[in-house]
Amino acid sequence: MGLAEIRTEIKNLLETVPGIGKVHDFERWTTDWKTFLSYFKDADNKINGWVITRSGAQERLHAAGAVNISTHAFIIKGYYGLKDSKESEKAFQDLIEGIRSVLRTHDNLNGSCLTSDPPQVSVLSPSPYAGILAHRCEILLRVQEYIRYTPA
């Protein structure tokens, strides 16, 4: 177990969701909007992409010596092209539920962590990006792992 393995397994699980688009296991940044949008365009040239980032971590003592429990707060950010005439909000909401379902049913992320809390949708709104309107969401996933250490 460890941060890299947990992050990789979250990405692997997201990639099993039908219609997921592009998934990045780190937050993408650039000052060029065209490049930024290209990070999230799927095979049909539609904005449909996700990033996984860690927003924080907490650690607490465990009852056993030389073992703590670390809780990582992951944010899964999604961007999806908004097209009212195609009822894109429905497709995006269904995609979010697909993600929540796969994370909920793999609560130890295929053995990469001790356990994870149920995924929470914390942000859901339309947002403009480089003149393109897109649906945006953030899913919070708290993941616990054992941290073993050798006392000094």
pLDDT in tens, 59-114: 998 876 788 999 999 999 999 999 999 999 999 999 999 999 999 999 999 999 99
Quick one: which of 91, 125, 104 has its CA closest to 20?
Answer: 91
Query: Nearest 5°: CA angle at 108, between 58 and 91?
Result: 95
Residue 141 CB contacts under 8 Å (≥ 6 apart), including other chains: 10, 73, 74, 75, 76, 103, 116, 117, 119, 120
Q: What pLDDT score does 41 carry?
A: 87
Phi, psi dihedrals of residue 110, rounded to the nearest 5° = 55, 40
Predicted local confidence at residue 64, as pLDDT: 66
pLDDT at 1: 72
Phi and psi of 93, rounded to 5°? -60, -40
Q: Which of 1-10, 110-119, 123-132 is predicted with the least confidence, judged by mean pLDDT? A: 123-132
For 98-129, give one letter per residue: b (16+ CB within 10 A) or e: bbbebbeebeebeebbbebeebebeeeeeeee
Strand bridging mode 48-61 / 22-24: parallel
Neighbours of 148 (CB within 10 A): 11
Domain ranges of the chain: 3-148
User: According to the model, what pLDDT value does residue 42 have?
Assistant: 80
**pLDDT tens per residue across span 4-42:** 999 999 999 999 999 999 999 999 988 887 888 889 888
Write down the CATH superfamily of domain 3-148: Phage minor tail protein U (3.30.70.1700)
